Structure 1
Amino acid sequence: MIGATFVSCSQDQTAMLWNGMLKITQSIVFTLHDDDNGSRQSKKARSESGKTRTPIMTLQGHRECVSSVQWMDQTTLLTSSWDHTMKIWDLNLEGVKSEITGNKSFFDASYSKLNGLIITASPDKNLRLYDPRSNQGAIVKNTYLGHSQWVQSVTWAPHDEFMFLSGSYDNQVKLWDHRSPKAPLYDLLGHDDKVLDVDWSNPKFMVSGGSDNTVRIFKSKKAVNKPSDV
């Protein structure tokens, strides 16, 4: 979210920008009550009424489900899609600034403001590191193979330019250093079914949610294999 503006993505092949500012429309509600003398008195109260919002902007261009959307800066968005592409959008121009094409669907993508790199999750069990600034050579800088099933979710550490987290249908969460593609640093165990999402918004805690109906919280300093169930 940038200010009151947030973004969403959908299987309808679009990403949308929304204004999340709450607007309170006041209506007067009269309530009757008895005072100490037994006479009827009225009071005024304010009430909020909801409103159906329409998007500020709709970003169209993907040919299949848009699987993730993220702010890169205040005027730039990153989207990933099942159509094997990632798009970088310039919101001032309301169009695509650049496009990255892969050979598999992108289930998730995470951009790090600390290092300028993008890490992606795909159904071929691999994670890939991209440098969107590359003009020469291969845009894929590294490939990380450690999961045994689809990789569903990935996210960078908010405080460390080298660390990222992945979650997979193999029931595992893995902690990686992007400089070491051969193996993860830790396997964070505990889920009994597919891992559907991972998050690392708070530097102290890594969070995962799975098809086993649990949310698990790992302490990131120790990366212990004993999560807390919520």
Structure 2
Amino acid sequence: MRDERGGGGGGEGEGGGSNMMFVETNSIPRPKFGNMLQYSDPNISSNMVPYDPDDFPMRNSSASMQTSPMSYDPSRMSCEGSPMLMSPWNQTSPYSKSPWSQQYDDALPPNSLIGSLVREEGHIYSLATAGDLLYTGSDSKNIRVWKNLKEFSGFKSNSGLVKAIIISGQKIFTGHQDGKIRVWKINPRNPSVHKRAGTLPTLMDIFKCSVKPSNYVQVRRRRTALWIKHSDAISCLSLSDDKTLLYSASWDRTLKVWRIENSKCVESINAHDDAVNSVVATVEGLVFTGAADGTVKVWKRELQGKATKHAFVQKLLEQESAVTALAVNPSGSIVYCGSSDGLVNFWEREKQFSHGGVLKGHKLAVLCLAAAGGLVFSGSADKTICVWRRDGVIHTCLSVLTGHTGPVKCLAVEEDRESLDGDQRWVVYSGSLDKSVKVWSVSDVTQTVGIQQQQYVDVDSLPSDGSFSSAGRASKNRRY
């Protein structure tokens, strides 16, 4: 761990994206949800060959590329065999250009597709919502802003794909493939205008830090870098519960802590032995990290005078399959972990993070998780989204949302402000490597038609210390 203070600095110039947009004004009658389980999205041309993940061979983690599954090369940067670069979906899309379509039904079934947002410019890697705005990031360098299912604005970075987006007040933070965090501000006079406010770390901090040789750390064999800089792609971002700290995790295996007030990197933690795929900060200063090394770790924020430090608390999970996603429910009482084996594990904070069970609803890797109210959403490489309702430790699969033609890479959820009393509804946004964002209306009311409900809980032989290992469980060892 390191601690550093320094001066402020500036950032890079702003840019703008293209304004091409295809709008289909004639509404297409949307089939009922039960029929959606059998038919593909009408936006995808029917003469195209459907995407089938089974056409591609199973791949090991970047940690085990060209070696045995248990071996590990400390000199390898995780970008060299990163799951997205190795992925068969990170190629030129086979799908034809599709117009944006808006579809409505006055009598929405409990869980239904509202519409699809499609831009022919890249796979969707990140989503974030703020009020009535939706932000989407892709590998096109563009961040698109949507309002009422229509394109509202957009801004462009000079980096590669946008892997993470998080919003704090009037600031938008975006994490990129080049290892930088870019900061944007909304113009108060014109909310459609977003201006670059800086880059983390700032140029001034990089200059000040570079003077001291002790500020350089080894990031691979015969290569060093400043500890305040990520040396590989940023995979995820999270905010502390008091919104004062920003956490960034990277394929360089580190977790970095930034003070939002002055844009300083205040701490860098060598968190894992392989690419960190997810970070979630929650109540009581707790931070959870999950990585391609198959572990989930818990860290606790501690104040030491004016300095902020994060101490390692415990390891929740250790397994062969890579950890690909984390989520915490709104109260912070349950921690969920998605893995490349298609399972979702969860732990209960009130029971000293004892393992609560396993949700089994996907055939392929779980790539994203989200929690809202009493619901949990899991998106997968099998192109589906499972909707789970929690009652204590029992999780019931209310429905499976289908319609994407590629892996579901990211999720965002917000409360439906038009929900009726007694019928809590949520608007769920799902971003996919099929280049589309789908918008769903989801209710926590039990569905009675078209969906087979099942309870997925597995609590076999749990260790008394709260940790959990799946080493003894059969797994295809598909890592992401």
Contact 1:189 1:225 in 2 (8 A): no
Classify the secondary structure of the residue corresponding to 2:276: coil
Distance 2:312 2:244 in 1: 25
The TM-score, its normalising length taken from structure 1, stands at 0.76
> Contact conserved, 1:153 with 1:166, CA < 8 A, in 2?
yes
CA-to-partner distance for each residue in 1:170-211, whole Å, 9 max, x for gaps? 101112124556x631211111111001111x1211111000
What is the CA deviation profile of residues 54-102 of structure 1, one whole-angstrom value per residue up to 9, with x for unaligned ones? 4222113111111111122344211111112111111232221222222
Instruction: Report what 1:115 is aligned to.
Output: 284
1:57 aligns with 2:198: yes
Q: Following superposition of structure 1 onto structure 2, how do residues 38-187 of structure 1 map, counting pairs within 5 Å? A: 53-60=194-201, 61-72=229-240, 73-104=242-273, 105-112=275-282, 114-133=283-302, 139-145=311-317, 147-160=319-332, 162-178=333-349, 179-180=351-352, 184-187=355-358
Larger helix fraction of residues = 2
Could you tell me the TM-score, scaled by structure 2's length? 0.38
Q: Distance in 1 between matches of 2:168 and 2:322?
A: 31
For the 8 Å contact 1:189–1:226, the answer to whether it is kept is no
Which fold has the larger relative contact order, with Cα–Cα distance below 8 Å and residues 6 or more apart in sequence?
Answer: 2
Letter of the structure 2 residue corresponding to residue 213 of structure 1: K
Q: Aligned pair in 2 of structure 1 residues 20, 173: CA closer, same or farther (>3 Å)?
A: farther
Highest CA radius of gyration, 1 or 2? Answer: 1
> Any stretches of 5+ residues in structure 2 without a counterpart?
1-166, 202-228, 305-309, 402-480
Identity between Structure 1 and Structure 2 (%)? 20
SS at match of 1:130: strand
Quickly say closer, same or farther: Cα 1:134–1:144, change in 2 above 3 A. Answer: farther
Alignment partners' CA distance in 2, 1:23 and 1:126: 46
**Which moves more between the two structures, 210-219 or 142-151?**
142-151
Structure 1 residue identity aligned to 2:278: D
SS state at 2:252 partner: coil
Q: Do the aligned partners of residues 147 and 227 (structure 1) sit closer, same or farther apart at CA in structure 2, a change above 3 Å counting? A: farther
Q: How does 1:199-214 map to 2 (within 5 A)?
A: 199-200=370-371, 202-214=372-384
C-alpha distance in 1 between matches for 2:370 and 2:319: 18
Quick one: distance in 2 between partners of 1:123 and 1:89? 23
Give the secondary-structure state (helix, strand or coil) at the position aligned to 1:55: strand
Counterparts of 1:134 and 1:170, CA distance in 2: 38
Tell me if structure 2 keeps the 8 A contact 1:152–1:167.
Answer: yes
In structure 2, distance between residues paired with 1:189 and 1:155: 16
The residue that corresponds to 1:19 in the other structure is 185
Question: Contact conserved, 2:340 with 2:366, CA < 8 A, in 1?
Answer: yes
Is 1:4 paired with 2:145? no
Report the Cα offset of residue 24 of structure 1: 5.5
Tell me if the contact between 2:238 and 2:247 (Cα under 8 Å) persists in the aligned partners. yes
Could you say if the C-alpha distance between residues 74 and 128 of structure 1 is closer, same or farther in structure 2, counting changes exceeding 3 Å?
Answer: closer
Which has the larger share of strand? 1
Instruction: Give the 3 Å change call, closer, same or farther, for CA 91–212 of structure 1 in structure 2.
Output: same
Runs of 4+ with >3 A deviation: 20-25, 178-181
Alignment RMSD, CA only? Answer: 2.6
Native 8 Å contact 2:171 2:185 kept in 1? yes
Which runs of 5 or more structure 1 residues have no equivalent in the other structure? 26-49
Cα separation, 2, equivalents of 1:22 and 1:173: 41
What code does the residue aligned with 1:121 have?
A: G
Contact 2:375 2:387 in 1 (8 A): yes
Query: C-alpha separation between the residues in 2 aligned to 1:56 and 1:74?
Result: 18
Matched length: 200
**How far has the Cα of 1:8 moved from its partner?**
1.6
Residues 76 and 146 (structure 1 numbering): CA distance in 2 closer, same or farther, change over 3 Å? closer
